[in-house]
A and B are shown apart, each in its own frame.
Chain A
Amino acid sequence: MRPGIYRAAAALLLAALLSACAGPPRLPLNKLSEAKPGETIVVGRVEIVPPLAENEQKLTVGSGYLKDQLILITSDKFRRLTAEPTPGEYTGRIEARLDKDFTVRSSNKPFYILAGGIMTNGEDGQMAWFPGGLEVPIRPGDKAIYIGTLRYYRNEFMDVKKTVLVDDYARANAEFKKTYGARYSLRKALVRPVR
C-alpha cells in the first residue's frame, strides 16, 4: 500500500515500466508471415467470472490502455511470486484482452506463467493478482500451440475463488485458421500446473 501523495508517481512508474523499463511484451501476431523461424505462436484466452463491471477498473489517461486487459507475467524459469513483480519481471508478459483469444509470438522453448494481474486503480497503480504456477509446454518444432482458456472465478472484492482450465481447442483452432490461413493447425498443449 502506498500513501496517495505518491499516486501520480506510481502511475507514471507503472506506465514507464510497462512501456520502457520492463522490456517488451510477447508480440501479438498480426500476420502469419511475422512469425520468424525458431518462434512458436501461442494461442490462449483469459476470462474473469463474473466479468469486470464498468466501475471496477478506475483507469487514468496513462493507464487507459489496460482496460479489460489481464497481464500474464511469464518467465523462462519457474519461481513462485511472493511479492508484486519488479519492473524487469514484466518483460515477456502476455497482454491478454479479457474474453478474446490472444495470439502471441514466443521463442520455441517452454515457459511459465507466474501470475496474472489486472489494474484496478490507475491513480495509484493498484493491481489485483491472479494465480499462475503454470507451464506452457512448447515442444521443439512446434509452430503454433493452443494453451487453453484460463477462467478465474472471483468475488466482488477481486478475491480469487478458483481457477479452471477450459479446453476450447476446436473453436480456437477454427478461429486461428480463419484469421491466419490454413497453413498451420494449432497443436493442443494445455498449460499444466507446476508441482
Chain B
Amino acid sequence: MRYRKLFYACLASVTLLSGCASSSPPRDLDDPTNSLYFGHIDMSDAPGGVNAADVEQIAPPTKFPYWKPGLRKGLFCLAILPPGSYQVTDFSGGDMVYDFPRQGNPTSVRIRKPGIYFVGSYKYVPVKTGFFEGAKFAIKRVNKPTEAELLRRILEYPDIQKSAWKKKIEARLAHLRQ
C-alpha cells in the first residue's frame, strides 16, 4: 500500500504546484462529474510540518484508492474527484506521517452529485504522553480560514482560472456572501 502511495506521490509531485488538479489517476479538470474537495490544515506546531497528503477513495472500491491533493500553505484541494466516498488518511512532512483514523474522521465526505465540498479547517495539536509512550496528536476543528477565504485562494490558481471551476467557485462565493 505504501509503495502505491509513494508511486502516486512521485507522480503527483510533478504537478503539485498546479493547484487542485494534481492527483491520480489523471482526469480532465473540466469533466462535468468532477467535485471540488478542499480544506485547510494548520500544522505549524507539528515537528515535521506538512508537505504532502493522501485522500483515500473509500467507495466505490478501486485498485488505486489514493488521490494526491494539491497542498499549499495548509490548503489541500482536489478538483477532479468523481462521485464516491472520500477522507484524508494522512498528512506528511519530513520523515513524519500523521495518520487519520478511518472511523470518526472529520474529513469524510460522501459525494453523490458533482459540487463543491468543504471538509473544514483543522489545527494539529500535540497531545502530552508519558515518557515511554509514543507521540500522539489530535486534530482540532477551527473556524479559520473560512470556506470563502479558501475558495478565494483556490480561484487564484492558474489552472482553476482557465477551467469551468472559475464560474462555479464564483457562484459559490456569491452564495456564501448572502
Contact = CB atoms under 8 A, between A and B. Distances in A.
Contacts of B61: 53-55
Interface in A32-86: 53-56, 58
B154 to A, nearest CB: 25
Interface in B81-134: 85, 87, 90, 92, 95-105, 108, 110, 134
Interface stretch (A97-105, A121-129, A165-173, A187-195): A121-129
B103 A158 contact: yes
Contacts of A2: 99, 134-137
A94 to B, nearest CB: 20
Given A58-B1, A157-B108, A1 B97 contact: no
B102 A9 contact: no
Chain B interface bracket (under 10, 10 to 19, 20 to 34, 35 or more): 20 to 34
Contact of A4 (B47, B85, B87, B96): B96
Interface string B1-37: 1100000000000000000000000000000000000
Contacts of A158: 102-103
Interface residues of A, number: 25
B138 interface: yes
Given A1-B136, A6-B135, A120-B102, A156 B58 contact: yes
A69 B136 CA distance: 26
A5 B96 contact: yes
Contact of A7 (B99, B110, B137): B99
Decide if the interface of chain A is mainly helix, strand, loop or mixed.
Answer: mixed
A57 to B, nearest CB: 10
Contacts, number: 75
A2 B99 CA distance: 6
Contact of B137 (A3, A54, A56): A3
Contact of B85 (A3, A5, A55, A156): A156
Q: What 6 A-B pairs are tightest by C-beta distance, nearest first? A: A4-B97, A6-B134, A158-B103, A128-B103, A157-B108, A120-B102
Interface of A: 1-7, 9-10, 53-56, 58, 120-121, 123-124, 126, 128-129, 156-159
Interface of B: 1-2, 47, 58-59, 61, 65, 85, 87, 90, 92, 95-105, 108, 110, 134-139
23 contacts: A1-B98, A1-B99, A1-B100, A2-B134, A2-B137, A3-B137, A4-B92, A5-B97, A6-B134, A6-B135, A7-B99, A10-B134, A53-B61, A54-B61, A120-B102, A120-B103, A121-B99, A121-B102, A123-B2, A128-B101, A156-B58, A157-B105, A158-B103
Given A2-B136, A4-B99, A120-B102, 9 more contacts: A1-B101, A2-B135, A4-B98, A5-B95, A5-B135, A55-B61, A121-B102, A157-B102, A159-B108
